Chains A and B, each alone.
Chain A
Amino acid sequence: MTRRFKALVIGGSYGLLTALLKLLGSLPEGFQLPVIIVSHIHSSDCGELADFFNERISIPVKEAKDKEPIQSNTVYLAPSNYHLLIEPDGTFSLNMDEKVSYSRPSIDVLFQSAGFAFGDRLIAVLMTGSNHDGVNGVLSVKKYGGLTIAQDPDSAECPVMPRAAIDAGYVDQVLTIDQLIGFLTTKVNT
C-alpha cells in the first residue's frame, strides 16, 4: 500500500542539526517530497542555516517565504522569530502569534497547519528535542489522518520530545534515523 504524500514536516530542537545532516544528507538528490522543518536551534538566524545545509547536502535548502508556493525536491526551513504555517492551497504563511511552548517558530503551529492543509497526505516526524513543543502538533496530524513518526528516543541525542509524543499515544511508527532514511527512500519517494 502506498499513499501519495504531499509533504514531510519535521520538528526538533536540541541535537536536531546533527540528526538533520545525517537524514537529509542520506536522501537521494532527486528526493521529490517537499521537506519542511521547524527547529528551535536558530532563533537569531538570518539565512545562515540554509547556507550551512546547502554546502553539505544535495537537495536545495531554502528559508520559507510568506505566500511562496511549496515546490517539490526542496527543503524549507522556518525563518527565525516567525511561526511557519502551511496553507491549504500549498503555499506558506508566516505569522507573529504568541510563542507556543516558549517557541517561535513552533513545531505545534507548523504541524497543526500542515495537518489541516494536507490531511492524510502528510508525514510528520518529531525528532530529538528537549521540550514538549510538537506533541500537540503530532496529535493534530493524527486527527486529520496523517502519518506520525517519532525518532526512536534511545537513538536520539535528546529523547524528551519524541518520548513525550510516544507516551501521549499519537505516534504511528518509532524509527531510528537509519530506519527513517530507509522508509523515506523506499516507501515514499516512488
Chain B
Amino acid sequence: MKPHQIEALEISLLLEAIYQRYGYDFRNYAAASIQRRITRFLLSSDRPSISALIPEVIHDPSFFQQLLLGLSITVTEMFRDPLMFKSLRETVLPFLNSFPSFKIWHAGCATGQEAYSLSILLEEEGLNHRATIYATDFNDEALDVARKGIYEKEHIQQYSENYVLSGGKRSFADYYHEKYDAVIMRKSLKERIIFANHNLATDSVFSEIHLIFCRNVLIYFDRELQKKVLNLFWDCLPYNGFLCLGTRESLAFSGLEDKFMPVDKKYKIFQKKEIQ
C-alpha cells in the first residue's frame, strides 16, 4: 500500500469507529473534504497518526466532541449571494403569500445567519406572522450561537452590503443592537425560528415544508448521500414547494433532475413538479 492509500484506510476505520460508537455518520461525506478536516484536527491535536485518534475517540467522549466540532462546517454569512435573496423576494415569497401559514427549513444552518436573513425578508414582505422557520444542524455548539443571535461586529459591514444588494427595504442597522464588539439580532426576528438538532446523514423527515434552504451543504457529501438527502427533501415538499441550493450545486447525478423545475437557474431555486 502507498502512503495515500494507508491514510484512506485510517480515515475509513476512524469514521466507522465514530459511527458505531456515537451514531454520527460521516462515512458518505466527500472524502477529500473530510480528509482535510481530519488532517487539520490531527495537526492541532498533536497525535502521530489518524489511526492513533481511534482509541481515544472510542474511550473519551469529550475528545470525540472536539473532533466532532472539527468535522463540522460553520462558514456562513447573512444574505450570502444577495441576488438569490432578491430572486426569492420576487418569485418565491409571492407564491408563499397564497398560504394561510407555511414552513421553511434551513437544513445545515450552522450559526444561523441565513435563518435570520430570511426572517428579515419575511418581516419586510409582511409574511412573518404566517411563517415557521426550522433551522437545523448536527453541531450543538453552532446551534447555541444561532439561538443567541450574537455575531462579531467585524462582519456587519459585509452583511449590510449584502442586505442592500438583496433589495433590502430599510437600514440593516434596524435589525440588531450593538454592544462592544458584537451585535445581537433583534428579538422579534427569533420568535418564528425554531433551532433544533437534526443530522441530514441519519435523521429523517419531520414535517411538511414549503421552502427548503440547503445551500453549500450537499457539496460536502458524496453522490450517494446527496441523492439520499435530495430524496428526503422531495418527500417533505408539497407539490410546487421550493428548494434552494448553493450557486454551484445542482440536481445533477441525483436522479431527481426531472422531478423539479428550475425557477431560477443561476441561483439554483427549484420547484417540485406536480405528478405528470
Q: Is the CB of B36 within 8 A of A85?
A: yes
B266: nearest residue on chain A (CB-CB)? A46
Q: Is the CB of A79 within 8 A of B2?
A: no
Describe B's contact surface by its main secondary structure. helix
Determine which of A65, A94, A97, A145 lies in contact with B36 in the assembled complex, contact meaning CB atoms within 8 Å.
Answer: A97
A96 to B5, CA, bound (A): 26
Nearest Cβ on chain B to A83's Cβ, whole angstroms:
8
Known: A66-B219, A96-B73. A88 touches B32 (CB 8 A): yes
Q: Residue-by-residue, is B243-271 near A (CB-CB < 8 Å gives 1, otherwise 0)? A: 00010111011000000000000000000
Determine which of B2, B75, B248 lies in contact with A97 in the assembled complex, contact meaning CB atoms within 8 Å.
Answer: B75
Task: Tell me whether A157 is interfacial, beta carbon within 8 Å.
Answer: no
Q: Is the CB of A113 within 8 A of B36?
A: yes
Known: A98-B75, A112-B36, A113-B32. A145 touches B252 (CB 8 A): no
Nearest Cβ on chain B to A6's Cβ, whole angstroms:
12
A66 to B246, CA, bound (A): 11
Q: Is the CB of B33 within 8 A of A66?
A: no
Q: Which residues from A are CB-within-8-Å of B235?
A: none
Known: A93-B219, A119-B2. A88 touches B8 (CB 8 A): yes
Nearest Cβ on chain A to B170's Cβ, whole angstroms:
27
Q: Residue-by-residue, is B219-241 near A (CB-CB < 8 Å gives 1, otherwise 0)? A: 11011001000000000000000
Task: Tell me whether B30 is interfacial, beta carbon within 8 Å.
Answer: yes
Q: Residue-by-residue, is B8-45 near A (CB-CB < 8 Å gives 1, otherwise 0)? A: 10000000000000000000001111011001000000
Q: Is the CB of B249 within 8 A of A66?
A: yes
Known: A65-B252, A85-B33. A143 touches B3 (CB 8 A): yes
Q: Which residues from B are CB-within-8-Å of A149?
A: none
Task: Tell me whether B140 is interfacial, beta carbon within 8 Å.
Answer: no
Q: Is the CB of B31 within 8 A of A95?
A: no
A93 to B219, CA, bound (A): 6
Determine which of A85, A97, A144 lies in contact with B3 in the assembled complex, contact meaning CB atoms within 8 Å.
Answer: A144
Known: A67-B223, A67-B252, A112-B36. A95 touches B2 (CB 8 A): no
Q: Is the CB of A119 within 8 A of B4?
A: yes
Task: Tell me whether B208 is interfacial, beta carbon within 8 Å.
Answer: no
Q: Is the CB of A109 within 8 A of B36?
A: yes
Q: Is the CB of A96 within 8 A of B75?
A: yes
- For chain B residues 58-78, which have a beta carbon within 8 Å of chain A? 73, 75
B33: nearest residue on chain A (CB-CB)? A95
Q: Which residues from A are CB-within-8-Å of B36?
A: 85, 97, 109, 112-113
- For chain A residues 77-91, which have a beta carbon within 8 Å of chain B? 79, 82, 85-89, 91
Q: How large is the interface on A (under 10, 10 to 19, 20 to 34, 35 or more residues)?
A: 20 to 34
Q: Which residues from A are CB-within-8-Å of B226?
A: 67
A31 to B74, CA, bound (A): 40
- For chain B residues 203-227, which have a beta carbon within 8 Å of chain A? 216, 218-220, 222-223, 226
A174 to B31, CA, bound (A): 32
A114: nearest residue on chain B (CB-CB)? B32
Known: A65-B248, A112-B36. A144 touches B4 (CB 8 A): yes
Nearest Cβ on chain B to A188's Cβ, whole angstroms:
20
Q: Is the CB of A93 within 8 A of B32?
A: yes
- For chain A residues 98-126, which have a beta carbon within 8 Å of chain B? 98, 109, 112-113, 115-120
Q: Is the CB of A145 within 8 A of B3?
A: yes
Determine which of B216, B223, B253 lies in contact with A96 in the assembled complex, contact meaning CB atoms within 8 Å.
Answer: B216
Which has the most chain B C-beta neighbours within 10 Å: A68, A98, A119? A119
List 22 interface pairs A-B (beta carbons < 8 Å), by A numbering: A66-B219, A66-B250, A79-B248, A85-B36, A87-B31, A88-B8, A89-B31, A91-B223, A93-B220, A95-B216, A96-B75, A96-B219, A98-B75, A109-B36, A113-B35, A113-B36, A119-B3, A119-B5, A120-B2, A145-B2, A145-B3, A145-B4
Residues of chain A whose beta carbon lies under 8 Å from any beta carbon of chain B: 65-68, 79, 82, 85-89, 91, 93-98, 109, 112-113, 115-120, 143-145
Residues of chain B whose beta carbon lies under 8 Å from any beta carbon of chain A: 2-5, 7-8, 30-33, 35-36, 39, 73, 75, 216, 218-220, 222-223, 226, 246, 248-250, 252-253
Closest 9 A-B residue pairs measured CB to CB? A85-B32, A119-B4, A113-B32, A93-B30, A96-B216, A144-B4, A94-B219, A119-B2, A95-B33
